[in-house]
Amino acid sequence: MIQLIFWNIFLVVGLIFVYNVFNRELLSPTFICVAMYLLSSFMLLFYVKTWNFDLSTKTEVVILIGLLSVFLGELAGTKVRVGLKLGKNIENDSSKPIIMKKTALYLCFAFVSLTAVLYLREIRNIAANSAFGEMYSFMMTVRRTKAADGVNVSYYVQQMFTLSEAIVCVLTYILMNNRLKYGEKKGTKIIVITIAIYIANTFMTTGRAKMLNFFIYVLCCWIIIYAQKRNWAFRGNIKIFGKIILIAGMAISLFYFAGFLTEKSLHYDNFFDNFANYFSSSIYALNEYLKNPSNFNSGTSFFGSYTLSGICSLLRTLGFKIPANNIVLEYIPCGKYVTNIYTPIRRYVQDFGILGEAFVMFFIGYGYKRLLWKNKVSEGFFCIVTSYFYFPLFFISIEERLFMDVIMTRSIYTMIYLYLVYMWLVKSKFLHWEIK
């Protein structure tokens, strides 16, 4: 208990230090990583006795090596500025608000709505034996069928969902850009309704990751636009923190509600247990793994199989003969619950060792810093891309999301869709006819 308290104090001091070193930048990769490990570690304080948890020095050292590597990577990324200066050479989309034509706006609304209808129809077919009027039963049946039989919606509907996601992301950017920079309110209602339909559709995927990822996108997009408006001078962050708490509160509430629809929240006695298990059990599991690594073997067959599943999937799609590596990590007891998430660190250490962990985390710090820096010299599309792919940092204390979810075939489709929708709605390159 005492060691865990001191560990949390150390992380608080580290968070303050990083916050000031990187000029109070709220999207600093190191700041986010330290903040997430602090959140997870703080929640553990309430479950020390319940989970019989004893934080080991080895776990502290391994986590510290990872965070220090992110810090060094971000420092390296900060120094490489390719000669660009803030406030100069900035590529602006426009000096005016982005005003969409009504035709384009209603086409977006219609497509997202159609996607939601088709998605609902297909999952109703999946849960054919379920009573639709009983939503709990309906969603649980879909989830169980997907898991047991590998059944999913059709390829075309999946692609429509991905395109809908791209449309909503660009619409969200337009809405926040217009409201925050220019106070422009035109098109707000129809955009908000379209976004709401998309969020409702994410519930039907029977997973909560898409919904959380979207709220992270909204948060990052808003912070970047706010920073661009103020020429990246972060002052008065207290107001920003207030809005961050509001967005986080909405996301957590919907996360918990989605858990009821998919049966996941029903396993827990209360909201606090659900929240703690999701955000903190990973450190508990990592601690158990590092105590006796030899007791954990999920059947790895080749180098990087725990970490590089997304890359392997992409290579298989391109025709390379790489064996499937659908590794499911071991479930271990966590109090009266179970967990099989071990933070990304377990995967890095098990695949590459502690030195490899340091290298991967350095790459994360450097890469995300360079991506963030691009937003300081260019507006628009880079804001959308950065915000969309920033979610792995917010899961850094929970599970690996960069190599498993970002670096894969689906991201290629997403990038293409984001670019095409952006060129259509923001740059007005095509499909801007008027209905007479």
pLDDT by residue (tens digit) across 71-126?
999 999 987 655 445 544 454 555 678 888 888 999 999 999 999 999 888 877 77
Task: Name the strand (E) or helix (H) holding 358.
Answer: helix 343-374
162 in a domain, yes or no?
Answer: yes
- What does pTM read for this prediction? 0.87
Q: How far is CA 41 from the centre of its chain?
A: 20
In terms of Cα–Cα distance, which of 360, 350, 371 is closest to 396? 360
56 belongs to a structural domain:
no
Residue 130, domain member (yes or no): yes
Surface-to-core class of residue 24, CB atoms within 10 Å of its CB (0-12 exposed, 13-18 middle, 19+ buried): middle
**pLDDT of res. 238:** 67
Tens-place pLDDT, residues 222-273: 999 988 887 877 666 666 767 777 777 777 777 666 665 555 555 666 667 7
CA atoms within 13 A on the CB side of 143: 19
202 in any annotated domain: yes
Q: What's the total number of domains in the chain?
A: 1
Give yes or no for a contact between 122 and 196, defined as CB atoms under 8 angstroms apart. no
Rounded Cα distance, 336 and 333, in Å: 7
132 occurs within a structural domain:
yes
At residue 106, what is the residue type? Y
Residue 54 covered by a domain: no
Q: Is residue 391 part of a domain?
A: no
Strands (E), 276-336: 332-334
Q: Which tokens hold the place of 224?
A: 């970047």
Judged against a pLDDT cut of 90, whether residue 168 lies above it is answered with: yes
**Shortest CA distance to 373 belongs to which of 75, 94, 174, 95?**
75
pLDDT at 147: 47
CA atoms within 13 A on the CB side of 287: 20
Encoded amino acid at 406, one letter: V
Helix or strand holding residue 92 (H, E): none
Domain that holds residue 134: 102-264
Question: What share of the chain has pLDDT > 70, as a percent?
Answer: 80
Please report whether residue 176 resides in a domain.
yes
Q: Taking residues 306-327, what's their average pLDDT?
A: 74
Contact 330, 340 (CB under 8 A): yes
